[in-house]
Amino acid sequence: MSVIYEPRGRAKEYSPYALNLYLGCMHGCRYCYAPHALQRTAENYFIKPTPRRDVLKYLEKDLRQRRYDKQILLSFIGDVYCETADDNQTTREALNLLNAFHAPVAVLSKGGGRMLRDMDIFRAFGDRIAVGATLTFHDECKSREWEPDAALPADRLKALKILHDVGIKTFASFEPVVEPEESLKLIEQTLLDNSVDHYKIGKLNNYKGLDKGIDWREFLIRALKLLRPAKKQIYIKESLRCAASDVPLYENETDPERYIVRA
């Protein structure tokens, strides 16, 4: 069994390779697609997850079999820094293995400060890692309402700043964008903090019709107005490009592979 895999179709936009260590998540986001994708009930998915059986054994096997020259995303399903039954030890051991085999890695989490316990390993990767946070709400109450058990916005922002300040490549994923004003405030805050190297901007997709009432064109124009003068690496996701198709973009803002981590 292989645990490193190539996401297919539109999912490929997120990363050339992915690795899921835990198939459950404590963060309990209202918009989470994972229970549906895994054909599980919410009660069976939003639990303190245990690691997938023998995941480290299979990971080592995968890494021995071939060399990965493009980033492996942790993770597509679940969050490797949510509260887990093994206190995130599998995350740490997986990172150690990936580093030992010189694999390039991207870590995306809503775990905030919990990510920092593995900072020593992130640093050991050097340029072969990017560590990111999903930023959704600036307002604490809204964050609690939509992502009840994820780290609060201030904690995620602080973690990005600490990582960036020690020289670790950072990224922020703005997807979903539930309230554009909230996402724009977060972009402004990260620019003030100078905590993010690479911005990935998306939208809210097919959530109870809420996305239909949002002016995505205006959101994209305002996001670009903030980010372009700051000369940040920007990737505009396909869903947002389609919803705001008359907004001109540079080639480097539409290429999902341009800013990925490489070996």
The reply to whether 106 sits near ligand SF4 by the rule CB under 6 A is no
The reply to whether 78 sits near ligand SF4 by the rule CB under 6 A is yes
**x/- string (CB under 6 A) for ligand SF4, residues 143-182?**
-------x--------------------------------
* Contacting range for ligand SF4; rule: CB under 6 A; set: 23-31, 85-93, 184-192, 197-205: 23-31
Q: Which of 4, 29, 106, 151 binds ligand SF4 (CB under 6 A)?
A: 29
H-helix segments, 27-167: 34-37, 42-45, 55-65, 89-100, 119-125, 140-146, 153-165
The reply to whether 200 sits near ligand SF4 by the rule CB under 6 A is no
Nearest one of 227, 226, 246 to 235, comparing CA atoms? 227
SS3 101: coil
CB of 148 vs ligand SF4, minimal distance in Å = 9
Q: Which is nearer to ligand SF4, 1 or 42 (CB)?
A: 42
* Contacting range for ligand SF4; rule: CB under 6 A; set: 27-35, 52-60, 138-146, 246-254: 27-35
The set of residues, in sequence order, having a beta carbon less than 8 Å from that of 244 and lying 6+ positions away, is 216, 217, 219, 220, 221
Asked if residues 151 and 114 have their Cβ atoms less than 8 Å apart, the reply is yes
The set of residues, in sequence order, having a beta carbon less than 8 Å from that of 120 and lying 6+ positions away, is none
Q: Which of 3, 21, 23, 25 binds ligand SF4 (CB under 6 A)?
A: 25
| Cα 164 to Cα 137: distance, rounded to the nearest angstrom | 21
